[in-house]
């Protein structure tokens, strides 16, 4: 029973490691290779106890879970393993979301005319959570630099207020379009999922 518990714990650890490795590796053939290697490793771990049993070593250790006490202990171990897996998955999702927000904010900050940006990413529930399809919504709060405005400052004239406002609106629409294009092209996100709000400097 003790070996069975160790096996379940080892499998849980491997699943957690697999999740983080898939997070770190981009969508490519390398991810499939890692999944294949880890899958083979899990199969070997499962087969080891079976091979030991076929060799006739400590057969009773592998069947002791069949009694009522063993079943209860097995269910407890499985429940604990599931709980640990869920907690680690939630943590992995949170880390992935935060990293996405930082990457998007940095990318937006490279756009001329943008001083800084804050990004909030909402992910869908379920697997996988590390692809573009897992993104449910992206909210961008960007602040314009205002450099262009200082260059075109002129004596205040009431007649020019509407014209200046129209020029600002046109510039903001241009910045918004560039933000949408950058995020959509770089991260593969549908433009309709991205909401952009640009603030005055």
pLDDT tens digit sequence for 149-183: 443 344 445 545 445 455 566 788 999 999 999 99
- pTM for the model: 0.52
Could you identify the residue written with the tokens 């053939």?
29
pLDDT at 67: 55
How do residues 185-201 score in pLDDT, each as one tens digit?
Answer: 998 889 999 999 998 87
Give yes or no for residue 143 having a pLDDT over 80: yes
Do 193 and 120 contact (CB within 8 A), yes or no? no
Q: pLDDT per residue over 125-142, tens digit each? A: 766 666 767 888 999 999
Kindly list the strands in the beta sheet with 135-144, ordered across the sheet, starting from the edge strand earlier in the chain. Answer: 114-123, 135-144, 194-199
Query: Quick one: fold of 99-199?
Result: GMP Synthetase; Chain A, domain 3 (3.30.300)
Query: HSE-up of 88 (CA within 13 Å, CB side)?
Result: 16
């Amino acid at each position: 029973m003790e070996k069975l518990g160790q096996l379940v714990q080892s499998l849980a650890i491997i699943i957690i490691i697999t999740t983080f490795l898939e997070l770190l590796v981009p969508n490519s053939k390398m991810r499939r290779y890692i999944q294949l290697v880890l899958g083979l490793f899990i199969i070997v771990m499962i087969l080891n106890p079976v091979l030991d049993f076929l060799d006739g070593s400590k057969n009773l250790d592998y069947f002791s879970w069949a009694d009522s006490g063993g079943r209860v202990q097995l269910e407890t171990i499985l429940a604990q393993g599931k709980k640990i897996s869920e907690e680690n998955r939630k943590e992995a999702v949170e880390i992935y979301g935060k990293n996405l927000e930082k990457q998007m904010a940095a990318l937006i900050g490279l756009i001329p005319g943008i001083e800084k940006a804050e990004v909030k990413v909402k992910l869908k529930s379920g697997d996988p959570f590390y692809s573009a399809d897992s993104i449910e919504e992206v909210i961008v709060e960007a602040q314009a630099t205002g450099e262009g405005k200082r260059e075109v400052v002129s004596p205040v004239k009431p007649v020019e207020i509407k014209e200046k406002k129209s020029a600002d609106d046109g510039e903001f629409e241009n910045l918004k379009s560039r933000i949408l294009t950058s995020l959509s092209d770089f991260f593969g996100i549908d433009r309709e999922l991205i909401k952009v709000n640009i603030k005055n400097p």
